[in-house]
Amino acid sequence: MNYVRISFKSKLQIESIDFPSDMNKEKGKKLYNCDVCGKSFSKNCYLTRHKYIHSGKKPYHCDTCGKSFTQSGNLTKHRRIHTGEKPYHCNICGKSFSQSGHLTEHKRIHTGEKPYDCDICGKSFSRSTHLTTHKRVHTGEKPYDCDICGKSFTESGNLTTHRRVHTGEKLYDCDFCGKSFSEGGALSRHKPVHTGEKPYHCVTCGKSFSQCGQLTAHKRIHTGDRPYHCDFCGRSFSESSNLTNHKRIHTGEKPYQCDICGKSFSRKSILTKHVNIHIY
């Protein structure tokens, strides 16, 4: 960068001075250091804002709901929840978003971009949060615990769904028969019972199935894969339900009881056959 020095003597003298390039670099230097974590900032105002992370101070308050934030920008984004404002528009499909970051993530649906790579298995993701969740497959981390039974989950959404086991809450109703489900996915899997739709096809024999899980189990007929092992006798099974039924031979469990005579059975199919004795 050039500076001008003006000298008033007998006549005006203008001299151009070249300062060393190192002096120009001083501008981009991070001179303000956090005394808590050591992080550096180029401006004092950035350091002040950063320190709120350590102090827990949240000076920016929403006048609608009272929620507080460490940064004014976060408050601005939050207010759009109340106003419904969505100023960021996708130029491909027209969908609108309240935050620019959400628009950036959305656009990857159209572009197919997946910039977040797992350094363990190489799988790629369009969102950093999806990568974080995926990594728990490798680490075994399950940070979301059920306060009723103690079962742990890798995702908060899975915990929310699980809690309905305890509460009995079933939010998803079948518009064909009225049956209710605790998960949207369970309702989707149920609907082909009414529509007859079988969208999952076996590439080996062409047989079709209404549920993806049924196709997965069927494929093991061709592969001979038996991934479910009995820890009592070591016998293997192609389906988890078959292993569950088998284990009752060892445990003596008979969870299916006849309402008429009170006799119990280890399998539902055996109970169904037994009930016919009373009917016919």
Interatomic CA distance for residues 107 and 136, integer angstroms? 26
Share above pLDDT 90 across residues of the chain, in percent, rounded to a whole number? 70
Interatomic CA distance for residues 14 and 19, integer angstroms? 16
Interatomic CA distance for residues 111 and 101, integer angstroms? 16
CATH of the domain at 236: 3.30.160.60
Domain containing residue 39: 32-83
What are the tens digits of pLDDT across the range 253-273?
999 999 999 999 999 999 999
Residue 248 predicted with pLDDT over 70 = yes
In a domain, 105, yes or no: no
In a domain, 205, yes or no: no
Give 96's strand partners: 89
Domain count, the chain: 2
In the predicted model, what is the mean pLDDT of the chain? Answer: 88
Question: For 152, phi and psi rounded to 5 degrees?
Answer: -110, 155
DSSP string over 151-169: -EESSHHHHHHHHHHHH--
Q: How confident is the model at residue 28 (pLDDT cuts 50, 70, 90)?
A: low
In a domain, 70, yes or no: yes
- Identify the weakest region by mean pLDDT among 3-17, 20-34, 140-154: 3-17
Q: Is the pTM of this model over 0.85?
A: no
In a domain, 272, yes or no: yes
Residue 19 predicted with pLDDT over 80 = no
Given a contact cutoff of 8 angstroms between Cβ atoms, the answer to whether 51 and 58 are in contact is: no
In a domain, 192, yes or no: no
